[in-house]
Structure 1
Amino acid sequence: MSARILVVDDLAPNRNLLDVKLSAEYYDVLTASSGEEALEIAAKERLDLIMMDIIMPGGMNGFEATRILKSDPSLYHIPVIMVTALEESKDMVRGLEAGADDFITKPIDDFNLTARVRSLLRLKMTTDQLMSHTGHTAENCRPMFEKIQGRKGRILLIGDEGGQPARISRMIGEAHEVVIEYDPAEAMRKAKSHFDLVIVSLVAKSFDGLRLCASLRFSAETRDTPILVIGDSDDQQTFVKAYDLGVNDSIMRPVETQELRARMATLLRRKFTADSLKENFNEDLEMVISDPLTGLGNRRFFDRQVEPLFDELKDGGEDFSILVFDIDHFKRVNDMLGHDMGDQILKEVAARIVTNMRAVDIVSRYGGEEFMIAMPGTTQDEAFFAADRVRQSMAGTPIFVDGQGLSITMSCGVAQVIPGEQLREVFRRADTALYHAKRNGRNQVKAADLGRTESKTATAA
């Protein structure tokens, strides 16, 4: 993945080493020799990741620079990896408290560097997508991301009984809901019941951790669930296989509490951000294709849904027909009773139409008080009788709104699609039939002319 990374270190050899390693992976690398210079570059350049050395004598250290970055509304969303030769947990804690997202210790091996960088860049990419989709800027999206970071996750721990899982669970504490499983088959079954993160031991004696990871990635229900694996530092080949199978991150034994929590936090933030992106997309899609009042599809939904029917008919597919319903005297109802009551009537009309149509029929509110229906595999005569069934249902039973019974009727135009017609053409024929139904007294169904001289009408008895 292409990205721009800022490397911050007071020593030129360290900067050059990381520059070479990251450039070899085709990243665009910028460098800074102090915390102050890093802040200046971050304010001017678009960055996807910052690798910050902790100890920089004679100027602003990594802790201070990270704290300032994370307090800046326009920069706080950029992931920061702390780079240090120190391995004491107090330095890890201090780095995380300053706002760092992860850390890596010197000497830096290529495998660990690649894993850390890719994990944080995926998080950055997902956050950028969410900001773009919601229209947020870096300055105003902080509450959204703080809410995501504050979510409690469901974690599934899989390992040997009496071994690692219980200890890992204690490290996680009460920040998340933790479920421990020792049997791989049962673990797979549980993993399909919505977990936000699965932690798998690669050193388990009772099952093959790599095979379990492969199964998790193969299953449709768990394909997108983040996987964190735990293994031995001297078994890099197993880690390589795990990443080839699609695991998201790794941690080596002995597991440090702060390192574990940092890895988990990154994966959970990415998972929750992706979930938010999906939810937001689905909400937007729902708004685009559905009518918020009745819950039916809207005009755009209808046009998209019927397009394949026209294509199939051109290729000799089955007949289908279009119905256009309109509520009689609806403007008068709105003027006399008010728009709130008019809305209630529209909801009830929509419900009755759906109740009287088949599951395969495409039902939409096409606009105002007009409803459009496509009936696949239906001739004009068959569609005519279906339309009259809806009309009778509407006319035969009052609609009750706020305890008041209202007599509502509908008129309808029906047209079978002629091969070669476009939607606008068949709509025009059905709408013309509807117009004649209304002119002839309303509360009736009128069939469009199919090229014959006769036409058909159904009226109230």
Structure 2
Amino acid sequence: MAMSVQGTILVLDGVSTNRIMLKVQLTAAWYHVVQGEKLAGLGALLRRTRPDLVLTAQTLPDGSAADVKKVMAADPALIDVPIVAIAPQNDKAARLKALSDGLDDVLGYPFKDTLLLARVRSLLRARAERQELNIEGSAQTIGFGEAPQVLIAPPSTAEIAILTQTVRTSALWSNALTHQTRHRVTGHTLPDLKGILSGTIPDAIVVELAPNSSGRNLLADLRSRGATRNTVLIGVLPDDNPALAAEALDRGADAVCMGGFQTDEICLRLETLIARKTRDDRLRATLRRDLAESLIDPLTGLFNRRYAMRALDQIAHQAPETEHGFAVMLADLDHFKAINDRYGHAAGDLVLTETAKRLRVVIGKTGFVARIGGEEFMIGLPNTSTDQALKQAKQICETICEKPFQLPDRPAPVPVTISVGVKLCTPPELSHPGEADPVGRLISSADKALYAAKKAGRNQVQIRQSAA
């Protein structure tokens, strides 16, 4: 059985032997390779092949790696595709030029298979993480067209930590960076991470990777920690050691600089990687906010129906494991329409927000409270008994009716009451073979109890203990 390819890589080079060599190396590692030789027609080639990564010669017959970057940056679908330039091994000026043009990395030709493949793996891994963020982000905009591409500037001053074997090296590197970058630089020594992890987490960490040091293990450690998982990690090797560079990339380094600490190169890499981290951090924050907003009622700040249904489903699934019962309550403000009609919708909104505050106080951390309709609330109480649930249900009625609601432009507070229907459930009640929607049945029972409370005169609690 044939293995599936792990991604599409576009190789751009005017020299056919170079393209063939790269294709052999990459195809052997189960990548799908597409070839091109010049800038002309690149746009059509990119649209047709949709590569996951581009390897391009620094100089093409009719352009340069920088021109490739410009073509790709113009297409929103390709803006996050990593681009690696291939330059002569010892051409420092070419390497710096490619980095200053915003390319993701530069590989010196000729290079070892191990280093090439480690760099490809590292960049594809980072792109896959960004794609997941973008997919989740675009899911928030379904039905509203495509989310616009927002250019986010990197922070004016980022936090950069230097982590070296000796205090002297740390001081030298920190001093060199401080003079060439606007960022705040702090020096630390291996293997002590306390200084880095105890304060403000750095945006980037530059790690000295001596052949026999703990630096490479430290990369994996930093990448695995929640605090530093998204921190930029740059490794610095004292000499040209492709095997160690490949290992560092596989252990989590975003970039590796060989041949010692080159201030110009470190500064360029920091700018590109910190800018990318800023965009990713902003997208993560937006996703967290959007997720929270999708589960919160904007008027009251309570959870909404979507959250309530998920939470209740989880409570129901966990009940058999804990062997404890739980309760579902539906609470409905009495004669709420009359409040809206008599005092206006703004007054009605104030009653709802004040009701939400009072319900939160009663329920506290014992369960959840959600607004699931205009004036209807759902309360879920895990691990509760009949007596406990009834006590809290009565407290709900009391907290609403005992203190009338103060409304704007009304000299006298307005009395409000609430009716509560309670459905108590024990784990055996969930054992209905073939039942498609046990949670729906429980809510229906609570709704019947609520109807009974309304029919009996409102401002009271009614309970259903049967499964029906």
User: How far 1:28 sits from its partner (Å)?
Assistant: 1.1
8 Å Cα contact 1:123-1:266 kept in structure 2: no
Deviation at 1:400, TM superposition (A): 3.0
- Aligned counterpart, 2:435: none
How much has 1:288 moved relative to structure 2?
3.3
Q: What is the TM-score when the length of structure 2 is the normalising length?
A: 0.83
Q: Measured at CA, do residues 151 and 41 of structure 1 come closer, stay the same or move farther in structure 2, by a change above 3 Å?
A: farther
- Cα separation, 2, equivalents of 1:316 and 1:164: 54
For residue 63 of structure 2, give the secondary structure of its aligned residue in structure 1: coil
Tell which deviates more after alignment, 356-365 or 11-20: 356-365
Query: Does the C-alpha gap of structure 1 residues 330 and 171 become closer, same or farther in structure 2, counting only changes over 3 Å?
Result: same
Whether the 8 Å contact between 1:161 and 1:182 is mirrored in structure 2 is yes
> How far off is 1:287 after superposition?
3.1
- Superposition map of 1:294-333 within 5 A: 294-314=300-320, 317-333=323-339
SS in 1 for 2:360: helix
Q: What per-residue deviation string (whole Å, max 9, x for no partner) do you get for residues 66-96 of structure 1?
A: 4344345554443322222275554445434
Two-structure CA RMSD over aligned residues (Å): 3.4
- Alignment partner of 2:448 out of 407, 432, 437: 432
Tell me: CA distance 1:23–1:97, structure 2 relative to 1, closer, same or farther (3 Å): same
Matched-pair contact (CA < 8 Å) for 1:152–1:176? yes
How much does 1:226 deviate? 3.8
Taking the TM superposition and a 5 Å limit, the aligned residue runs for 1:340-379 are: 340-379=346-385
Q: Secondary structure at the match of 1:162?
A: helix
Aligned partners of 1:426 and 1:65: how far apart in 2? 60
| Counterpart in the other structure of 1:415 | 423
CA distance in 2, matches of 1:321, 1:20: 64
**What does residue 397 of structure 1 align with?**
403
1:19 matched to 2:26? The reply is no
Name the residue aligned to 1:52. Answer: 56
Match of 1:34 in 2: 38
Is the CA contact 1:293–1:343 (under 8 Å) kept in the aligned structure 2? Answer: yes
2:210 match: 203
Which sits farther off after the overlay, 44-53 or 9-18?
44-53
> What is the aligned partner in structure 1 of residue 159 from structure 2?
154
Counterpart amino acid of 2:183? H
Residue 160 of structure 2 contacts residue 203 of structure 2 at CA under 8 Å; is this kept in 1?
A: yes
Write the deviation string for residues 409-446 of structure 1: whole angstroms up to 9, x where unpaired: 21112232253253333333332232232233322222
> Take 1:323 and 1:39, find their aligned partners in 2: how far apart are those partners?
60
Q: 1:324 to 1:21 in 2, by over 3 A?
A: same
2:250, 2:89 → 1: CA distance?
Answer: 31
Structure-1 separation of matches of 2:225 and 2:382: 35
Cα deviation code 1:284-321 (max 9, x no counterpart): 33233332222222223222223344345556812222
Deviations 1:32-83 (A, max 9, x none): 12221434412432122222212334x3344444434434555444332222
| Partner residue in 2 for 1:190 | 197
Share of identical aligned residues, percent?
Answer: 28
1:194 partner amino acid: I
Q: Write out aligned runs for 1:20-99 (5 A).
A: 20-57=24-61, 59-72=62-75, 75-85=78-88, 87-99=90-102
Q: Which residue of 2 aligns with 1:442?
A: 458
Question: 2:173 touches 2:261 (CA, 8 Å); kept in 1?
Answer: no
- Once the two structures are TM-superposed, the CA of residue 403 in structure 1 deviates from its matched residue by 6.5
Could you tell me which residue of structure 1 aligns to residue 265 of structure 2?
259
Deviations 1:205-230 (A, max 9, x none): 9x732453354345443345342221
Structure 1 pair 183–255 and aligned structure 2 pair: CA distance change class (3 A): closer
2:388 is the counterpart of 1:386: no
Q: Which amino acid aligns with 1:251?
A: C
The equivalent of 1:457 in structure 2 is: none
- 1:262 Cα shift? 4.4
How many residues in Structure 1 have an aligned counterpart in Structure 2? 448
Q: How far 1:327 sits from its partner (Å)?
A: 0.8
Q: Which residue of 2 aligns with 1:6?
A: 10
1:126 aligns with one of 116, 122, 129 = 129
Match of 2:103 in 1: 100
| Distance verdict in 2 for CA 1:69–1:267, change over 3 Å | closer
Taking the aligned partners of 2:197 and 2:159, their CA distance within structure 1 comes to 11
309-318 vs 378-387, greater mean Cα deviation: 309-318
| Separation in 2, partners of 1:432, 1:217 | 53
1:123 and 1:270 in contact (8 A); partners too: no
Contact 1:70 1:76 in 2 (8 A): yes
CA distance in 1, matches of 2:148, 2:182: 21
Q: How far 1:401 sits from its partner (Å)?
A: 4.0
Q: What is the alpha-carbon distance in structure 2 between the residues aligned to residue 62 and residue 311 of structure 1?
A: 56
2:183 maps to which of 176, 179, 189: 176
CA contact (8 A) 1:387 1:445 kept: yes
What is the CA–CA distance in structure 2 between the aligned matches of 1:89 and 1:434, rounded to whole Å? 77
Distance in 2 (CA, whole Å) between partners of 1:158 and 1:152 is 19
SS of the equivalent of 2:59 reads: coil
Name the aligned partner's letter for residue 130 of structure 1.
Answer: L
Distance of 1:124 and 1:237 partners within structure 2: 23
Residues 240 and 81 (structure 1), Cα distance of their counterparts in 2 relative to 1, 3 Å cut: closer
Q: What is the letter of the counterpart of residue 41 of structure 1? A: L
1:21 deviates by: 1.6
State the 1:364 CA deviation. 1.7
Alpha-carbon distance in structure 1 between the residues aligned to 2:147 and 2:32: 26
Contact 1:325 1:434 (C-alpha < 8 Å) held by counterparts: yes
Q: Does 1:225 align with 2:231?
A: yes
Moved more, 288-297 or 95-104: 95-104
3-state SS of the aligned residue for 2:454?
helix
Which stretch shows the higher mean deviation, 323-332 or 272-281?
A: 272-281
Helix, strand or coil: the match of 1:371?
strand
The change in CA–CA distance for 1:432 and 1:391 in structure 2 (over 3 A counts) is: same
On the 8 A contact 1:101/1:262 being kept in 2, the answer is no
Paired residue secondary structure (2:444): helix
Q: How does 1:107-122 map to 2 (within 5 A)?
A: 107-122=110-125
Give the Cα–Cα distance (whole angstroms) in 1 for the partners of residues 100 and 248 of structure 2. Answer: 31
Alignment check: 8 A CA contact 1:129 1:277 kept: no
Structure 2 gap segments, 5+ residues each: 431-437
Q: Distance in 1 between matches of 2:158 and 2:70?
A: 26
